[in-house]
Structure 1
């Protein structure tokens, strides 16, 4: 089974990353889905999304959970029946799950040049320290997107804006960590950020 990487950023938190090498049929034979999720995966139009969905269930099993242990609230935020915090992501041939006793969020994205085209939609403050001519510009944009997506997932509040409400403090790719803030409705929330790169992908996770 292609468990790609396990990370333990602190005693309360574990991150597991899966490299999706199995076929859709192989994954379907591996996991047990509750009826509503079986219907959901069968109606997905993209096999890539189906494999991502199923690989997340494989990761749940790596944590000792199954599909019945996972549920979602009205804002689409996932929870576990034992009240542990969980966040989920998948992109192309990688998926990742983070489980913790504290509030967390995670995202993984493929590093692609086209992110520069939409940078103005999710970046404001960060333009002050980004250098468009730097070799790591695309990597930094991808990291910032992942961080803000992680914040969005953990905050799970309608109306939260990547550009307006989420701020990522200056960082270097080699540092593998930074600080980010959510400035929302007159209150500020601080989060510790970690990110890693592998095979042309970036994964970032936020920890309260």
Structure 2
């Protein structure tokens, strides 16, 4: 399969998803890579990681960019040469990019039962009370995604998921909520959008205006 779908987050922000069904050779033949990306690709030991890397480049091409338009800063955060904001994520079987006029963070996660085993390490588990096990899995995955997306957006060392990032109460049907980052003696507010795609969860974070 090629391009899967796009999701309009707001007037200047759009998410793009790629469902990875191609093998390495199919993807490799369809992308143009700069030398540093070729070296990075060659250094990957897993074909799963290689395919995720290549499918992100396929998404770039779908959006009118190429690998040559993409670069990473010293902290590993992706940027586009034209100044458009970008965030990238992938999980087994899917890749995602989000493009925006505003600084943005995205996370894509496959919803798995094991998230409940580690939930107490990154969130207030009382937020999972009175839910079915399936909804607990999805909600815990969303909350992990909220924290990951904000972490990617801020891109600052020292941010702790349980100690610094707090989501406001929400229900899965809302598909949106707010969150706060308490860090370096300041509080920042974020708007969160999320949804389920098959058995995956995507989360987008943007600074509240």
Shorter-chain TM-score: which interval? over 0.9
- Specify which of 125, 132, 138 is matched with residue 134 of structure 1: 132
Q: Following TM superposition, by how much is the alpha carbon of 1:133 offset from its aligned partner in structure 2, in angstroms?
A: 5.5
Matched, 1:83 2:86: no
2:3 matched residue in structure 1: 3
1:36 matched residue in structure 2: 36
1:48 matched residue in structure 2: 48
Matched, 1:166 2:168: no
**Partners of 1:2 and 1:132 in 2: CA distance:** 39
**Partners of 1:129 and 1:30 in 2: CA distance:** 44
Q: Following TM superposition, by how much is the alpha carbon of 1:128 offset from its aligned partner in structure 2, in angstroms?
A: 3.5
Q: TM-score, normalised by structure 1?
A: 0.95
Residue 128 of structure 2 aligns to a residue whose secondary structure is coil
1:115 matched residue in structure 2: 115
Residue 118 of structure 1 aligns to a residue whose secondary structure is helix
Please, which runs of 5 or more residues in structure 1 have no aligned partner?
A: none
Q: Following TM superposition, by how much is the alpha carbon of 1:48 offset from its aligned partner in structure 2, in angstroms?
A: 0.7
1:45-82 per-residue CA deviation (whole Å, 9 max, x = no partner) reads 11111100000000111111111111111111111111
Cα contact 2:119–2:125 (8 A) shared by 1: no
Which 10-residue stretch deviates more, 130-139 or 193-202? 130-139
Q: Following TM superposition, by how much is the alpha carbon of 1:120 offset from its aligned partner in structure 2, in angstroms?
A: 2.0
Cα contact 1:20–1:55 (8 A) shared by 2: yes
Aligned counterparts, 1:56-67, within 5 A:
56-67=56-67
RMSD across aligned C-alpha pairs, in angstroms?
1.2
Please, which runs of 5 or more residues in structure 2 have no aligned partner?
A: none
Residue 71 of structure 1 aligns to a residue whose secondary structure is strand
Residue 113 of structure 1 aligns to a residue whose secondary structure is coil
**How many pairs does the alignment contain?**
206
Cα contact 2:181–2:187 (8 A) shared by 1: yes
Residue 32 of structure 2 aligns to a residue whose secondary structure is coil
**Partners of 1:151 and 1:168 in 2: CA distance:** 11
Residue 201 of structure 2 aligns to a residue whose secondary structure is strand
Q: Following TM superposition, by how much is the alpha carbon of 1:129 offset from its aligned partner in structure 2, in angstroms?
A: 2.6
